Structure 1
Protein backbone atom coordinates (compact mmCIF):
# COMPACT_ATOMS: atom_id res chain seq x y z
CA UNK A 1 0.00 0.00 0.00
CA UNK A 2 2.84 2.32 -0.87
CA UNK A 3 2.12 6.00 -1.31
CA UNK A 4 -1.20 5.99 0.53
CA UNK A 5 -1.96 8.22 3.45
CA UNK A 6 -2.86 6.60 6.76
CA UNK A 7 -6.46 7.78 6.28
CA UNK A 8 -6.69 6.00 2.91
CA UNK A 9 -5.21 2.85 4.38
CA UNK A 10 -7.67 3.01 7.28
CA UNK A 11 -10.59 3.44 4.85
CA UNK A 12 -9.37 0.42 2.89
CA UNK A 13 -9.22 -1.70 6.04
CA UNK A 14 -12.77 -0.65 6.95
CA UNK A 15 -14.23 -1.85 3.64
CA UNK A 16 -12.42 -5.15 2.96
CA UNK A 17 -12.97 -7.88 3.97
CA UNK A 18 -16.60 -7.81 5.10
CA UNK A 19 -16.86 -6.72 8.70
CA UNK A 20 -18.97 -9.75 9.58
CA UNK A 21 -15.86 -11.91 9.16
CA UNK A 22 -14.21 -10.32 12.20
CA UNK A 23 -16.83 -8.25 14.01
CA UNK A 24 -17.09 -10.53 17.04
CA UNK A 25 -14.54 -12.30 19.16
CA UNK A 26 -16.01 -15.64 18.11
CA UNK A 27 -15.60 -14.90 14.40
CA UNK A 28 -12.02 -13.72 14.97
CA UNK A 29 -11.26 -16.95 16.81
CA UNK A 30 -12.71 -18.93 13.91
CA UNK A 31 -10.44 -16.95 11.57
CA UNK A 32 -7.47 -17.70 13.82
CA UNK A 33 -8.38 -21.38 13.81
CA UNK A 34 -8.58 -21.44 10.02
CA UNK A 35 -5.24 -19.61 9.85
CA UNK A 36 -3.68 -22.12 12.24
CA UNK A 37 -5.07 -24.96 10.13
CA UNK A 38 -3.47 -23.42 7.05
CA UNK A 39 -0.14 -23.28 8.90
CA UNK A 40 -0.61 -26.90 9.95
CA UNK A 41 -0.83 -27.92 6.29
CA UNK A 42 2.83 -26.95 5.91
CA UNK A 43 3.78 -29.20 8.80
CA UNK A 44 1.72 -32.04 7.34
CA UNK A 45 3.57 -31.69 4.03
CA UNK A 46 6.88 -32.11 5.87
CA UNK A 47 5.61 -35.29 7.54
CA UNK A 48 4.38 -36.59 4.17
CA UNK A 49 7.83 -36.00 2.69
CA UNK A 50 9.51 -37.63 5.67
CA UNK A 51 7.68 -40.89 5.09
CA UNK A 52 7.07 -40.88 1.31
CA UNK A 53 10.04 -39.05 -0.24
CA UNK A 54 11.45 -39.54 -2.78
CA UNK A 55 8.31 -40.22 -4.81
CA UNK A 56 5.99 -38.35 -7.10
CA UNK A 57 3.16 -38.87 -4.59
CA UNK A 58 5.15 -36.95 -1.98
CA UNK A 59 5.92 -34.18 -4.47
CA UNK A 60 2.33 -33.66 -5.62
CA UNK A 61 0.93 -33.95 -2.12
CA UNK A 62 3.39 -31.29 -0.94
CA UNK A 63 2.48 -28.95 -3.78
CA UNK A 64 -1.23 -29.41 -3.07
CA UNK A 65 -0.88 -28.86 0.68
CA UNK A 66 1.28 -25.74 0.35
CA UNK A 67 -0.94 -24.33 -2.41
CA UNK A 68 -4.05 -24.79 -0.26
CA UNK A 69 -2.28 -23.29 2.75
CA UNK A 70 -1.25 -20.19 0.81
CA UNK A 71 -4.69 -19.58 -0.66
CA UNK A 72 -6.46 -20.08 2.66
CA UNK A 73 -4.06 -17.90 4.59
CA UNK A 74 -4.13 -15.07 2.03
CA UNK A 75 -7.86 -14.68 2.68
CA UNK A 76 -7.53 -15.13 6.45
CA UNK A 77 -4.63 -12.66 6.69
CA UNK A 78 -6.55 -9.95 4.84
CA UNK A 79 -9.41 -10.37 7.30
CA UNK A 80 -7.07 -10.31 10.30
CA UNK A 81 -5.33 -7.15 9.10
CA UNK A 82 -8.74 -5.53 8.80
CA UNK A 83 -9.76 -6.75 12.24
CA UNK A 84 -6.65 -5.38 13.91
CA UNK A 85 -6.77 -2.13 11.90
CA UNK A 86 -3.31 -2.76 10.57
CA UNK A 87 -1.43 -3.49 13.81
CA UNK A 88 0.23 -6.41 12.04
CA UNK A 89 0.27 -5.21 8.44
CA UNK A 90 1.05 -1.50 8.59
CA UNK A 91 4.50 0.03 8.69
CA UNK A 92 5.61 1.15 12.14
CA UNK A 93 5.47 4.83 11.23
CA UNK A 94 1.69 4.57 10.71
CA UNK A 95 1.00 3.11 14.16
CA UNK A 96 0.14 5.04 17.28
CA UNK A 97 1.82 4.19 20.60
CA UNK A 98 -0.88 1.73 21.69
CA UNK A 99 -0.71 -0.15 18.39
CA UNK A 100 3.11 -0.22 18.43
CA UNK A 101 3.08 -1.65 21.97
CA UNK A 102 0.49 -4.24 20.97
CA UNK A 103 2.63 -5.26 17.98
CA UNK A 104 5.64 -5.73 20.28
CA UNK A 105 3.58 -7.94 22.60
CA UNK A 106 2.34 -10.01 19.68
CA UNK A 107 5.85 -10.44 18.30
CA UNK A 108 7.13 -11.51 21.72
CA UNK A 109 4.35 -14.07 21.98
CA UNK A 110 5.11 -15.41 18.52
CA UNK A 111 8.79 -15.78 19.44
CA UNK A 112 7.82 -17.78 22.52
CA UNK A 113 5.57 -19.94 20.36
CA UNK A 114 8.36 -20.48 17.84
CA UNK A 115 10.73 -21.56 20.61
CA UNK A 116 8.18 -24.08 21.87
CA UNK A 117 7.69 -25.39 18.32
CA UNK A 118 11.44 -25.78 17.81
CA UNK A 119 11.73 -27.78 21.02
CA UNK A 120 8.75 -29.95 20.04
CA UNK A 121 10.18 -30.62 16.57
CA UNK A 122 13.55 -31.54 18.04
CA UNK A 123 11.91 -33.94 20.48
CA UNK A 124 9.78 -35.52 17.75
CA UNK A 125 12.75 -35.96 15.43
CA UNK A 126 14.77 -37.62 18.19
CA UNK A 127 11.87 -39.91 19.07
CA UNK A 128 10.90 -40.69 15.47
CA UNK A 129 13.67 -43.15 14.75
CA UNK A 130 13.69 -44.81 18.15
CA UNK A 131 16.98 -46.28 19.33
CA UNK A 132 19.06 -45.63 16.21
CA UNK A 133 21.99 -43.30 16.80
CA UNK A 134 21.68 -41.60 13.39
CA UNK A 135 18.40 -40.06 12.28
CA UNK A 136 17.84 -40.44 8.55
CA UNK A 137 15.65 -37.68 7.19
CA UNK A 138 15.07 -36.92 3.51
CA UNK A 139 16.52 -33.56 2.49
CA UNK A 140 13.13 -32.42 1.20
CA UNK A 141 11.56 -33.06 4.59
CA UNK A 142 14.24 -30.93 6.28
CA UNK A 143 13.63 -28.12 3.80
CA UNK A 144 9.87 -28.31 4.35
CA UNK A 145 10.29 -28.38 8.15
CA UNK A 146 12.37 -25.20 7.99
CA UNK A 147 9.92 -23.57 5.59
CA UNK A 148 6.95 -24.56 7.80
CA UNK A 149 8.75 -23.12 10.83
CA UNK A 150 9.42 -19.79 9.10
CA UNK A 151 5.88 -19.56 7.73
CA UNK A 152 4.39 -20.38 11.13
CA UNK A 153 6.61 -17.82 12.84
CA UNK A 154 5.42 -15.16 10.40
CA UNK A 155 1.77 -16.15 10.83
CA UNK A 156 1.73 -16.32 14.65
CA UNK A 157 1.48 -12.56 15.38
CA UNK A 158 -1.71 -12.18 13.35
CA UNK A 159 -3.21 -15.32 14.89
CA UNK A 160 -2.37 -14.10 18.40
CA UNK A 161 -3.90 -10.71 17.58
CA UNK A 162 -7.15 -12.39 16.56
CA UNK A 163 -7.22 -14.47 19.75
CA UNK A 164 -6.43 -11.60 22.13
CA UNK A 165 -8.48 -8.78 20.59
CA UNK A 166 -11.59 -7.95 22.65
CA UNK A 167 -14.92 -7.03 21.13
CA UNK A 168 -15.32 -3.30 20.52
CA UNK A 169 -17.77 -1.46 22.77
CA UNK A 170 -21.32 -1.44 21.47
CA UNK A 171 -22.70 1.76 20.02
CA UNK A 172 -25.76 3.37 21.61
CA UNK A 173 -27.56 3.06 18.26
CA UNK A 174 -27.18 -0.72 18.36
CA UNK A 175 -28.76 -0.86 21.83
CA UNK A 176 -31.90 0.91 20.57
CA UNK A 177 -32.32 -1.59 17.73
CA UNK A 178 -32.40 -4.60 20.08
Structure 2
Protein backbone atom coordinates (compact mmCIF):
# COMPACT_ATOMS: atom_id res chain seq x y z
CA UNK A 1 0.00 0.00 0.00
CA UNK A 2 2.85 2.41 0.78
CA UNK A 3 4.68 1.78 -2.50
CA UNK A 4 4.70 4.34 -5.27
CA UNK A 5 4.49 3.63 -8.96
CA UNK A 6 6.95 5.48 -11.23
CA UNK A 7 4.16 7.83 -12.35
CA UNK A 8 3.17 8.65 -8.79
CA UNK A 9 6.79 9.16 -7.84
CA UNK A 10 7.35 11.56 -10.72
CA UNK A 11 4.15 13.49 -9.93
CA UNK A 12 5.00 13.70 -6.25
CA UNK A 13 8.58 14.84 -6.70
CA UNK A 14 8.16 17.01 -9.79
CA UNK A 15 7.87 20.31 -7.92
CA UNK A 16 9.21 19.61 -4.45
CA UNK A 17 11.97 19.72 -3.40
CA UNK A 18 13.34 22.15 -5.96
CA UNK A 19 15.62 20.58 -8.56
CA UNK A 20 18.32 23.06 -7.58
CA UNK A 21 18.75 20.97 -4.41
CA UNK A 22 19.96 17.95 -6.34
CA UNK A 23 20.50 18.91 -9.98
CA UNK A 24 24.29 18.69 -9.77
CA UNK A 25 26.67 16.20 -8.19
CA UNK A 26 27.97 18.83 -5.78
CA UNK A 27 24.47 19.63 -4.52
CA UNK A 28 23.63 15.94 -4.12
CA UNK A 29 26.81 15.40 -2.15
CA UNK A 30 25.91 18.35 0.03
CA UNK A 31 22.52 16.70 0.65
CA UNK A 32 24.30 13.46 1.53
CA UNK A 33 26.47 15.37 3.99
CA UNK A 34 23.41 16.89 5.62
CA UNK A 35 21.81 13.42 5.81
CA UNK A 36 24.97 12.00 7.40
CA UNK A 37 24.98 14.89 9.86
CA UNK A 38 21.37 14.03 10.75
CA UNK A 39 22.48 10.47 11.52
CA UNK A 40 25.37 11.93 13.50
CA UNK A 41 22.89 13.77 15.73
CA UNK A 42 21.64 10.41 16.98
CA UNK A 43 25.20 9.30 17.77
CA UNK A 44 25.78 12.61 19.57
CA UNK A 45 22.64 11.90 21.56
CA UNK A 46 24.21 8.62 22.71
CA UNK A 47 27.31 10.50 23.87
CA UNK A 48 25.12 12.98 25.76
CA UNK A 49 23.33 10.07 27.42
CA UNK A 50 26.65 8.50 28.38
CA UNK A 51 27.79 11.60 30.24
CA UNK A 52 24.47 12.97 31.57
CA UNK A 53 22.09 10.02 32.03
CA UNK A 54 20.05 9.54 34.11
CA UNK A 55 18.87 13.15 34.15
CA UNK A 56 16.19 15.35 32.68
CA UNK A 57 18.83 17.19 30.65
CA UNK A 58 19.88 13.95 28.94
CA UNK A 59 16.26 13.02 28.26
CA UNK A 60 15.30 16.36 26.71
CA UNK A 61 18.53 16.64 24.76
CA UNK A 62 17.96 13.16 23.37
CA UNK A 63 14.41 14.04 22.33
CA UNK A 64 15.54 17.31 20.73
CA UNK A 65 18.43 15.74 18.81
CA UNK A 66 16.32 12.78 17.69
CA UNK A 67 13.48 15.04 16.53
CA UNK A 68 15.87 17.33 14.66
CA UNK A 69 17.53 14.32 13.01
CA UNK A 70 14.15 12.97 11.93
CA UNK A 71 12.95 16.25 10.43
CA UNK A 72 16.23 16.88 8.62
CA UNK A 73 16.44 13.37 7.25
CA UNK A 74 12.85 13.32 5.98
CA UNK A 75 13.65 16.35 3.80
CA UNK A 76 17.00 14.89 2.68
CA UNK A 77 15.48 11.49 1.91
CA UNK A 78 12.70 12.96 -0.21
CA UNK A 79 15.26 14.93 -2.22
CA UNK A 80 17.49 11.86 -2.62
CA UNK A 81 14.60 9.71 -3.84
CA UNK A 82 13.90 12.29 -6.53
CA UNK A 83 17.59 12.68 -7.34
CA UNK A 84 18.20 8.96 -7.76
CA UNK A 85 15.08 8.60 -9.91
CA UNK A 86 13.56 5.99 -7.64
CA UNK A 87 16.50 3.60 -7.29
CA UNK A 88 16.20 3.95 -3.52
CA UNK A 89 12.50 4.64 -3.05
CA UNK A 90 10.64 2.50 -5.57
CA UNK A 91 9.58 -1.09 -5.09
CA UNK A 92 11.75 -3.66 -6.89
CA UNK A 93 9.03 -4.55 -9.39
CA UNK A 94 8.97 -0.95 -10.68
CA UNK A 95 12.69 -0.87 -11.48
CA UNK A 96 14.28 -1.81 -14.76
CA UNK A 97 17.28 -4.16 -14.89
CA UNK A 98 19.88 -1.40 -14.70
CA UNK A 99 18.20 0.22 -11.69
CA UNK A 100 17.78 -3.15 -9.98
CA UNK A 101 21.46 -3.96 -10.47
CA UNK A 102 22.41 -0.51 -9.19
CA UNK A 103 20.22 -0.99 -6.11
CA UNK A 104 21.88 -4.32 -5.32
CA UNK A 105 25.33 -2.72 -5.61
CA UNK A 106 24.27 0.13 -3.34
CA UNK A 107 22.83 -2.26 -0.77
CA UNK A 108 26.02 -4.34 -0.78
CA UNK A 109 28.09 -1.20 -0.26
CA UNK A 110 25.76 -0.09 2.54
CA UNK A 111 26.19 -3.43 4.28
CA UNK A 112 29.98 -3.08 4.03
CA UNK A 113 29.75 0.46 5.44
CA UNK A 114 27.61 -0.78 8.34
CA UNK A 115 30.18 -3.50 9.01
CA UNK A 116 32.94 -0.87 9.11
CA UNK A 117 30.80 1.17 11.51
CA UNK A 118 30.35 -1.86 13.78
CA UNK A 119 34.08 -2.61 13.78
CA UNK A 120 34.92 1.04 14.51
CA UNK A 121 32.36 1.04 17.30
CA UNK A 122 33.87 -2.12 18.80
CA UNK A 123 37.40 -0.71 18.62
CA UNK A 124 36.17 2.50 20.27
CA UNK A 125 34.57 0.54 23.11
CA UNK A 126 37.71 -1.55 23.60
CA UNK A 127 39.91 1.53 23.66
CA UNK A 128 37.56 3.25 26.14
CA UNK A 129 37.79 0.35 28.59
CA UNK A 130 39.90 1.27 31.60
CA UNK A 131 43.05 -0.82 31.86
CA UNK A 132 42.76 -3.76 34.20
CA UNK A 133 38.96 -3.71 34.33
CA UNK A 134 36.73 -6.22 32.59
CA UNK A 135 33.47 -4.28 32.91
CA UNK A 136 32.47 -1.04 31.23
CA UNK A 137 29.81 0.93 33.06
CA UNK A 138 27.50 2.52 30.49
CA UNK A 139 24.07 3.97 31.30
CA UNK A 140 21.17 2.04 29.75
CA UNK A 141 19.97 5.16 27.93
CA UNK A 142 23.34 5.44 26.18
CA UNK A 143 23.17 1.78 25.09
CA UNK A 144 19.65 2.27 23.73
CA UNK A 145 20.72 5.38 21.81
CA UNK A 146 23.81 3.61 20.46
CA UNK A 147 21.66 0.76 19.17
CA UNK A 148 19.18 3.25 17.70
CA UNK A 149 22.06 5.15 16.08
CA UNK A 150 23.43 1.94 14.60
CA UNK A 151 20.00 0.92 13.29
CA UNK A 152 19.35 4.38 11.82
CA UNK A 153 22.77 4.39 10.17
CA UNK A 154 22.11 0.97 8.67
CA UNK A 155 18.70 2.03 7.34
CA UNK A 156 19.73 5.35 5.79
CA UNK A 157 23.10 4.25 4.40
CA UNK A 158 21.73 3.00 1.01
CA UNK A 159 20.10 6.34 0.22
CA UNK A 160 23.23 8.24 1.20
CA UNK A 161 25.43 6.00 -0.94
CA UNK A 162 23.03 6.29 -3.88
CA UNK A 163 23.06 10.08 -3.63
CA UNK A 164 26.84 10.17 -3.37
CA UNK A 165 27.45 7.87 -6.35
CA UNK A 166 24.82 9.35 -8.68
CA UNK A 167 26.38 10.99 -11.72
CA UNK A 168 25.10 14.09 -13.44
CA UNK A 169 22.79 13.51 -16.39
CA UNK A 170 24.40 14.11 -19.80
CA UNK A 171 24.17 17.62 -21.21
CA UNK A 172 21.58 18.30 -23.86
CA UNK A 173 23.13 18.27 -27.31
CA UNK A 174 20.77 21.00 -28.53
CA UNK A 175 22.44 23.68 -26.45
TM over 0.5: yes
Change over 3 Å in CA distance of 1:16–1:147 after alignment to 2: same
Once residues 3 and 107 of structure 2 are traced to their aligned partners in structure 1, the CA distance between those partners, rounded to angstroms, is 26
Q: CA deviation at 1:50?
A: 0.9
Aligned to 1:17: 17
2:153 is the counterpart of 1:152: yes
Q: CA deviation at 1:124?
A: 1.1
Q: CA deviation at 1:172?
A: 2.7
Q: CA deviation at 1:130?
A: 2.0
Cα deviation digits, residues 1-57 of structure 1 (max 9, x gap): 758643232232333211110000000000000000000000000011111111111
Once residues 120 and 160 of structure 1 are traced to their aligned partners in structure 2, the CA distance between those partners, rounded to angstroms, is 19
2:59 is the counterpart of 1:59: yes
> Pairwise CA RMSD of aligned residues?
1.5
CA contact (8 A) 1:126 1:135 kept: no
Shift >4 Å, 4+ stretches: 1-5
Count of equivalent residues: 174
Aligned to 2:171: 170
CA contact (8 A) 1:52 1:58 kept: yes
Where do 1:2-13 residues align within 5 Å? 2=2, 5-13=5-13
Once residues 3 and 164 of structure 1 are traced to their aligned partners in structure 2, the CA distance between those partners, rounded to angstroms, is 24
Q: TM-score, normalised by structure 1?
A: 0.92
Question: Which 5+ residue runs of structure 1 have no aligned equivalent?
Answer: none
Aligned to 1:138: 139
Once residues 169 and 14 of structure 1 are traced to their aligned partners in structure 2, the CA distance between those partners, rounded to angstroms, is 19
CA contact (8 A) 1:25 1:167 kept: yes
Once residues 65 and 139 of structure 1 are traced to their aligned partners in structure 2, the CA distance between those partners, rounded to angstroms, is 18
